[in-house]
């Protein structure tokens, strides 16, 4: 571009920015219920929307439905609905359960049976006037119908002439939260609990009320609010009134309250000397407790149990079975309609890793299949989607086809424990969809997982979907603004698992960011590729994530899974990698599937590449279906994955000024961070496999970083070198840290031709201090500060390593051949301003029009203020 063109271009760009109306800053608290005002064209489509509403009934749920309708219509169409006691002579929206609607419009008949929670959006002509009808079998269905109508309007879809009956796929559409009574959340990444603080239910349950509304808006009908590693205090007499407060708020939105309980509760501080489920005193204790609960909470949903798992006590302590334990709780709940959700996550984490026949993946089936048919009818076995533990890629649990006479539900993990902890973008709906679509071939018939869990495959009375969400007090609920797509998508699949993944992505994007086609296209396409991207730089081919499984479950920790009893082994050695789980030569896990699925996994030839290492141990030179060797695929996919994260940053930048600045900056910060951390993952895994296998990368990338300057090789003042353990989590296995109370410096001479360069500084951001960094360019005329930043992220470790390694980018730094670059590190508490390396690359964009400073350094981190938790939606005065 010549100078004139450049000037014109920048002038046009500035004018464009000036002309773009400023978008209202948004925190994300409203999630997909923004009810943003429709623009001219779209609002004209709805100009005939009725100005009146008739609400047939006065239950709390119908009041919520009415207020929601008013809120949505006034927000989007700037119209205030008038409430009418009777059908008016002009058009109205009519809300009510079907019998009451039919009373005033007798000719109305739904096209099919309205089951529990189903709703029917239709229209009816009375005396020549067409009314819009939202009806259902129960009031909760009416509420769902209202949300559905509003969602259609927010997406500019037609609502006149509708005749749509929506039926939920399964009765159970629940959320689990893993909140602790002290206000922390196990595997929660978005602040403290919205339910508990200091050992009690929070005084202010405003956010819990907002949460219930969000859940109802997508058809979720139950929520267990505390950690499955349950605190027995929850069952104390003085705690029940506190739980009743939460139930009261949930009730307004048709969300049933449930709690997780510790099976040892009768013994732990409750007077008995046993919790043996076969002991009549224990049964009486549970009976009494259940009665107390229902006295306080008449619509209580049920109990969730984690037993004999990860140091939780269980029935095996007394030689009893999981069915004995489940049933002793289920019996007293039965007459009240309560459910026991008994988790199938029962396993021994002290397995002998030397025994090649041992396999944690077999545990759930081994424990529960023999008990099939022995559970009460109100017990649901809650099964994690894969046989291990929410890994980035697992086959489906064979237990889904191993329980024909027992109710079951699938447990999916919305909180991104193993998939980037809401710092990495990872839209999980494509993964869940694959799981739900998987054909188990039970009894050699078509039997997708979605039907097994919904109860249709084996004709069970109950079943469904449970999502572990772990939303917190952060304003935007899940910390990463794009992570809410996972909660939304979970609920949409629980309602209808036949929805298409791309429709879900588009719906969520439109509702969350508006209908600008470029915004919808860009964000949906980022969402849709993100799981595959995450998988490709954190360990592909079904090796499971190679994360630090003994610690945070976040950064790389390749050997952490080996040589211990946790059973997340990948068995990588000098020659090859993978777990042999075949019947012929391995652990026999494959034999837990029905024959057609088993045959596919038993044979190397028919095992899909993406699960190869889950089922087979192969040499690194084994050729995949895609024609590459296993090892070359590992190298390539890590490079491609890291590159894709850099592309996400660029894609997001095209949306600047199309999204409000606040959410734009919050997402950009996270994407930039992710692009840096993907390189940490890439290098750790590629270097580890290079060293372990001795086989080089055919493209010569691994272990060669010509534009990298290792910190330990720089000229150091007060900084000292340190070995990083494990070695692969730092470039060349070493870093430098500043143990002095004064700032330390590291200086080097890049010897580059004059020009503009991008300087990436790889440092370690420990979580118990806020070190500062300054970047200078030095030459004869003095020193020039070009950037500075604070290491104030909240990463999950206080150690130098894969969890804390962070990249800071400084764009378009002018360098001359003799210039030196200096990093000054200013330590703070235990954060020793550690540095790994600096990488310098030439700036391709000659205009330098991109940011000259990294926003990542300067933008506020996306931990939003917690002082004044924003309330969302309209004021639901009657509901608070």
Q: Which amino acids are annotated catalytic?
A: 310, 389, 417
CB atoms within 10 A of CB 7: 11
Instruction: Pick the closer one to ligand GCW by CB: 419 or 457.
Output: 419
With contacts defined by CB under 6 A, name the span among 223-231, 291-299, 583-591, 763-771 that binds ligand GCW.
Answer: 223-231
- Tell me: does residue 228 bind ligand GCW (CB under 6 A): yes
- Tell me: does residue 465 bind ligand GCW (CB under 6 A): no
- Tell me: does residue 429 bind ligand GCW (CB under 6 A): no
Q: Distance between CA atoms of 826 and 541, rounded to whole angstroms?
A: 42
Q: How far is the CB of 565 from ligand GCW (least distance, A)?
A: 15
Taken in order 419, 421, 425, 426, the sign of the CA dihedral is positive
- Tell me: does residue 554 bind ligand GCW (CB under 6 A): no
- Tell me: does residue 306 bind ligand GCW (CB under 6 A): yes
**Considering only residues 59, 229, 643, 858, which one is a binding residue for ligand GCW as defined by CB under 6 A?**
229
Q: How far is the CB of 390 from ligand GCW (least distance, A)?
A: 6
Written as one string, the DSSP assignment of 111-131 is: SS---TT-EEEEEEEETTEEE
Q: Distance between CA atoms of 740 and 719, rounded to whole angstroms?
A: 8
Q: How far is the CB of 211 from ligand GCW (least distance, A)?
A: 19
- Residue 149: half-sphere exposure toward Cβ, Cα within 13 Å: 33
DSSP 712: G
- Tell me: does residue 389 bind ligand GCW (CB under 6 A): yes
Taken in order 472, 474, 477, 481, the sign of the CA dihedral is negative
Q: Distance between CA atoms of 381 and 364, rounded to whole angstroms?
A: 10
Please count the residues of the chain. Answer: 880
3-state secondary structure of 356: coil
Instruction: Pick the closer one to ligand GCW by CB: 55 or 383.
Output: 383
With contacts defined by CB under 6 A, name the span among 110-118, 226-234, 248-256, 605-613 that binds ligand GCW.
Answer: 226-234
Q: Distance between CA atoms of 557 and 545, rounded to whole angstroms?
A: 9
Q: How far is the CB of 384 from ligand GCW (least distance, A)?
A: 7
Q: Distance between CA atoms of 89 and 750, rounded to whole angstroms?
A: 81
Helix (H) or strand (E) holding 457: none
Residues 391-420 that bind ligand GCW (CB under 6 A): 417
With contacts defined by CB under 6 A, name the span among 160-168, 224-232, 592-600, 682-690 that binds ligand GCW.
Answer: 224-232
Instruction: Pick the closer one to ligand GCW by CB: 229 or 629.
Output: 229
With contacts defined by CB under 6 A, name the span among 225-233, 607-615, 662-670, 690-698 that binds ligand GCW.
Answer: 225-233
- Tell me: does residue 635 bind ligand GCW (CB under 6 A): no
Q: How far is the CB of 363 from ligand GCW (least distance, A)?
A: 13
CB atoms within 10 A of CB 826: 18
- Tell me: does residue 367 bind ligand GCW (CB under 6 A): no
- Tell me: does residue 186 bind ligand GCW (CB under 6 A): yes
Distances (CA, A) of 119 to 517, 576, 703, 708: 30, 55, 59, 60
Instruction: Pick the closer one to ligand GCW by CB: 466 or 834.
Output: 466
- Tell me: does residue 349 bind ligand GCW (CB under 6 A): no
**Considering only residues 120, 144, 178, 427, which one is a binding residue for ligand GCW as defined by CB under 6 A?**
178
Q: Are 195 and 179 in contact (CB under 8 A)?
A: yes
- Tell me: does residue 324 bind ligand GCW (CB under 6 A): no
- Tell me: does residue 620 bind ligand GCW (CB under 6 A): no
Q: Distance between CA atoms of 543 and 614, rounded to whole angstroms?
A: 6
Q: Distance between CA atoms of 813 and 800, rounded to whole angstroms?
A: 28
Edge-to-edge strands of the sheet including 772-779? 715-717, 744-748, 820-826, 772-779, 782-790
- Tell me: does residue 670 bind ligand GCW (CB under 6 A): no
Q: Distance between CA atoms of 121 and 152, rounded to whole angstroms?
A: 11
Distances (CA, A) of 682 to 537, 634, 686, 708: 6, 9, 6, 15
Residues 821-860 that bind ligand GCW (CB under 6 A): none
DSSP 600: H
256 φ/ψ angles, rounded to the nearest 5 degrees: -80, 140
Shortest-Cβ-distance residue relative to ligand GCW: 389
- Tell me: does residue 123 bind ligand GCW (CB under 6 A): no
Q: Distance between CA atoms of 251 and 129, rounded to whole angstroms?
A: 35
Crossing angle of helices 484-495 and 501-513, in 10° steps, is 130
Q: How far is the CB of 347 from ligand GCW (least distance, A)?
A: 10
Q: How far is the CB of 34 from ligand GCW (least distance, A)?
A: 32
Instruction: Pick the closer one to ligand GCW by CB: 365 or 764.
Output: 365
Q: Distance between CA atoms of 362 and 372, rounded to whole angstroms?
A: 16
DSSP 177: E
CB atoms within 10 A of CB 165: 18
Q: Are 748 and 820 in contact (CB under 8 A)?
A: yes
- Tell me: does residue 189 bind ligand GCW (CB under 6 A): no
Q: Distance between CA atoms of 381 and 125, rounded to whole angstroms?
A: 47
**Considering only residues 52, 79, 152, 187, which one is a binding residue for ligand GCW as defined by CB under 6 A?**
187
**Cβ-Cβ contacts under 8 Å for 845 (sequence gap 6 or more):** 812
Instruction: Pick the closer one to ligand GCW by CB: 390 or 648.
Output: 390
Instruction: Pick the closer one to ligand GCW by CB: 553 or 638.
Output: 553
Instruction: Pick the closer one to ligand GCW by CB: 144 or 390.
Output: 390
Query: Judging by beta carbons within 10 Å of its beta carbon (0-12, 13-18, 19+), is residue 501 exposed, middle or buried?
Result: buried
Instruction: Pick the closer one to ligand GCW by CB: 251 or 385.
Output: 385
Instruction: Pick the closer one to ligand GCW by CB: 411 or 819.
Output: 411
With contacts defined by CB under 6 A, name the span among 221-229, 264-272, 528-536, 724-732 that binds ligand GCW.
Answer: 221-229
- Tell me: does residue 628 bind ligand GCW (CB under 6 A): no
**Considering only residues 345, 432, 601, 719, which one is a binding residue for ligand GCW as defined by CB under 6 A?**
345
Instruction: Pick the closer one to ligand GCW by CB: 228 or 579.
Output: 228
Selection from 389, 396, 376 nearest residue 439 by Cα: 396
With contacts defined by CB under 6 A, name the span among 222-230, 296-304, 665-673, 743-751 that binds ligand GCW.
Answer: 222-230
- Tell me: does residue 342 bind ligand GCW (CB under 6 A): no
Instruction: Pick the closer one to ligand GCW by CB: 186 or 434.
Output: 186
Q: How far is the CB of 341 from ligand GCW (least distance, A)?
A: 12
Q: Binding residues for ligand GCW, per CB under 6 A?
A: 178, 186-187, 227-229, 306, 345, 389-390, 417
């Amino acid at each position: 571009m010549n100078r004139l063109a450049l000037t014109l271009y920048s002038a046009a760009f500035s004018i464009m920015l000036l002309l773009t109306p400023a978008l209202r800053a948004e925190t994300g608290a409203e999630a997909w219920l923004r009810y943003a005002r429709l623009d001219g064209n779209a609002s004209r489509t709805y100009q005939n929307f009725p100005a009146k509403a008739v609400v047939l009934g006065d239950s709390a749920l119908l009041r919520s439905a009415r207020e929601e309708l008013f809120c949505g219509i006034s927000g989007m169409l700037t119209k205030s609905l008038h409430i009418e006691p009777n059908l008016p002579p002009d058009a109205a929206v009519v809300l009510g359960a079907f019998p009451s609607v039919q009373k005033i419009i007798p000719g109305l008949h739904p096209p099919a049976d309205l089951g529990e929670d189903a709703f029917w959006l239709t229209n009816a002509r009375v005396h020549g006037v067409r009314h819009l009808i939202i009806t259902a079998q129960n009031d909760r269905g009416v509420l769902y119908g209202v949300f559905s109508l509003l969602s259609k309007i927010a997406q500019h879809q037609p609502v006149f002439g509708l005749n749509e009956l929506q039926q939920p796929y399964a009765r159970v559409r629940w959320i689990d939260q893993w909140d602790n009574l002290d206000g922390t959340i196990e595997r929660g990444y978005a602040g403290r609990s919205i339910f508990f603080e200091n050992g009690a239910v929070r005084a202010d349950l405003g956010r819990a009320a907002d949460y219930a509304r969000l859940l109802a808006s997508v058809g979720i009908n139950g929520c267990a609010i505390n950690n499955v590693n349950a605190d027995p205090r929850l069952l104390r007499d003085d705690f029940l009134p506190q739980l009743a407060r939460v139930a009261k708020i949930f009730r307004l939105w048709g969300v049933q309250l449930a709690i997780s309980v510790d099976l040892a509760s009768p013994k732990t501080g409750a007077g008995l000397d046993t919790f043996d489920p076969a002991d009549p005193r224990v049964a009486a204790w549970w009976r009494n407790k259940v009665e107390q609960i229902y006295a306080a909470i008449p619509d209580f949903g049920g109990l969730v149990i984690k037993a004999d798992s990860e140091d939780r006590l269980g029935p095996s302590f007394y030689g009893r079975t999981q069915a004995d334990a489940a049933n002793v709780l289920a019996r007293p709940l039965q007459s009240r309609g309560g459910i026991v959700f008994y988790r199938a996550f029962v396993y021994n984490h002290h397995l002998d890793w030397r025994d090649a026949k041992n396999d944690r993946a077999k545990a759930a089936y081994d424990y529960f299949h023999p008990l099939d048919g022995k559970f009460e009818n109100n017990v649901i076995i809650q099964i994690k989607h894969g046989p291990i533990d929410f890994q980035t890629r697992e086959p489906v649990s064979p237990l889904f086809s191993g329980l024909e006479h027992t109710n079951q539900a699938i447990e999916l993990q919305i909180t991104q424990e193993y998939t980037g902890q809401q710092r990495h973008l990872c839209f999980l709906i494509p993964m869940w969809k694959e799981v739900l679509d998987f054909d188990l071939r039970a009894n050699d018939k078509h039997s997708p997982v979605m039907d097994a869990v919904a109860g249709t495959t084996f004709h069970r009375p109950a079943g469904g979907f449970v999502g572990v969400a772990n939303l917190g007090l952060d304003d935007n609920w899940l910390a990463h603004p794009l992570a809410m797509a996972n909660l939304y998508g979970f609920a949409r699949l629980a309602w209808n698992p036949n929805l298409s993944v791309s429709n879900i992505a588009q719906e969520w994007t439109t509702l969350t960011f508006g209908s600008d086609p470029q915004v919808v296209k860009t964000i949906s396409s980022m969402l849709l590729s993100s799981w595959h991207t995450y998988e490709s730089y954190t360990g592909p081919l079904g090796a499971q994530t190679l994360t630090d499984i003994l610690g945070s479950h976040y950064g790389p920790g390749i050997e952490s899974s080996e040589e211990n009893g946790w059973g997340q082994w990948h068995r990588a050695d000098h020659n090859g990698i993978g777990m042999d789980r075949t019947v012929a030569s391995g652990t026999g896990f494959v034999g837990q599937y029905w024959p057609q699925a088993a045959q596919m996994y038993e044979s190397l030839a028919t095992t899909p590449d993406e699960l190869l290492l889950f089922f087979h141990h192969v040499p690194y030179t084994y050729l995949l279906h895609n024609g590459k060797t296993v090892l070359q695929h590992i190298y390539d996919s890590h490079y491609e994955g890291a590159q894709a994260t850099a592309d996400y940053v660029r894609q997001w930048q095209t949306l600047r000024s199309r999204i409000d600045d606040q959410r734009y900056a919050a997402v950009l910060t996270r994407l930039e961070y992710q692009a840096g951390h993907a390189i940490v993952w890439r290098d750790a895994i590629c270097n580890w496999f290079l060293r372990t296998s001795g086989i080089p990368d055919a493209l010569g990338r691994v272990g060669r970083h010509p534009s990298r300057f290792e910190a330990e090789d720089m000229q150091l003042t007060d900084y000292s070198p340190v070995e990083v353990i494990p070695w692969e989590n730092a470039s060349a296995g070493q870093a430098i840290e500043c143990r002095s109370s004064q700032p330390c410096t590291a200086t080097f001479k890049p010897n580059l031709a004059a020009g503009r360069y991008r300087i990436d500084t790889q440092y370690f951001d420990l979580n118990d201090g806020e070190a500062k960094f300054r970047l200078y360019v030095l030459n004869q005329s003095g020193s020039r500060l070009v950037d500075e930043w604070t290491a104030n992220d909240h990463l999950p470790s206080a150690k130098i390593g894969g969890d804390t390694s962070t990249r800071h980018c400084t764009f378009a730094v002018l360098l001359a051949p003799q210039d030196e670059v200096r990093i000054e590190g200013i330590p703070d508490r235990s954060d020793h301003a550690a540095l790994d390396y600096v990488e310098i690359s030439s700036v391709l964009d000659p205009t330098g029009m991109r940011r000259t400073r990294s926003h990542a350094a300067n933008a506020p981190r996306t931990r939003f203020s917690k002082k004044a938790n924003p309330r969302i939606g309209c004021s639901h005065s009657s509901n608070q």
